[in-house]
Amino acid sequence: MQGKQNPDDSVDAPADDAALVGWLRASEPAACEAFVRREVGRALAVARRLLGSEADAADAVQDAFASFFTSLDRFRRDARLSTWLHRIVVNAALARRRAAARRHERTIDELLPTYEPDGHRQGVRPAWDASGAASLEREETRAIVRRRIDELPADYRDVIMLRDVEEMGTAETAAALGVTPGAVKVRLHRARQALRSLLEEEFAP
């Protein structure tokens, strides 16, 4: 008779989603460990993009895998398992951003541009110079941009993080946030306007 699989043995996760779900639902330690090994790199990459911190990303991924395994019975196979895990990681990362950013939020109305009756924008600041724009590629300036994104209200911050940082599509973003694609487009437009105002404050001479 074949001996029981040792949880410490190295095993490979099945590629087929149906087999994989059954394998994980059996709750064999080796199965869960193999799945985590297979997916943790991609999960961490997503969390890092959204959080910008290695420690926060690791915590978010840990939360996400815990949520994934406890809610596995609710998986209905209307999406790929990897897509479902991706959404859980995104939600875990966004939850951490919301908790950290709540104290810095400003209202969207105070950040959006205002216009004169003739259509000219009020309070136009000089555009930041080329060296300032080029510095957006630097790590320290990316940190400033993330900090400014954190000043956006949560609904707008989440949309701009998913669309412009995580580069998710409109439909996928709508599904992740539980809103319509139209709402995503409106929020993204307003979020970009508001972020531009914040960056003008930061980088304009």
**Cα separation of 177 and 184, whole Å?**
9
pTM beyond 0.85, yes or no: no
User: Domain 105-203 carries which CATH code?
Assistant: 1.10.10.10
**Cα separation of 165 and 159, whole Å?**
9
**Cα separation of 89 and 42, whole Å?**
10
The segments of the chain whose pLDDT lies below 70 read: 1-18, 27-28, 77-79, 101-106, 109-111, 113-139, 204-205
- Which pLDDT value is given to residue 27? 66
Non-local (6+) Cβ contacts of 9 within 8 A are 30
**Residue 39, burial from CB neighbour count under 10 angstroms (0-12, 13-18, 19+):** buried
Question: Domain extents for the chain?
Answer: 17-102, 105-203
What topology does CATH give the domain 17-102? Rna Polymerase Sigma Factor; Chain: A (1.10.1740)
pLDDT digits (tens, 9 = 90+) for 145-157: 888 888 888 889 9
User: Do 17-102 and 105-203 fold alike per CATH?
Assistant: no
Query: Strand, helix or coil at 6?
Result: coil
Q: How far is CA 186 from the centre of its chain?
A: 19
Q: How many CB atoms lie within 10 A of CB 12?
A: 8
